[in-house]
Amino acid sequence: AQKITQTQPGMFVQEKEAVTLDCTYDTSDQSYGLFWYKQPSSGEMIFLIYQGSYDEQNATEGRYSLNFQKARKSANLVISASQLGDSAMYFCAMREGPENTGFQKLVFGTGTRLLVSP
Q: Is 64 in the site for another protein (CB under 8 A)?
A: no
**How many whole angstroms separate alpha carbon 40 and alpha carbon 14?**
18
Size of the site for another protein (CB under 8 A): 25
**Residue 30 within binding range of another protein, rule CB under 8 A:** no
Alpha-carbon distances, residue 38 vs 35, 72, 76, 83 (angstroms): 10, 24, 14, 14
Query: Which of 34, 82, 95, 114 contacts another protein by CB under 8 A?
Result: 95
Q: What is the rounded distance in angstroms from the CA atom of residue 91 to the CA atom of residue 65?
A: 14
> Residues in the site for another protein, rule: CB under 8 A?
33, 35, 37, 42-47, 50, 52, 91, 95, 99-106, 108-111
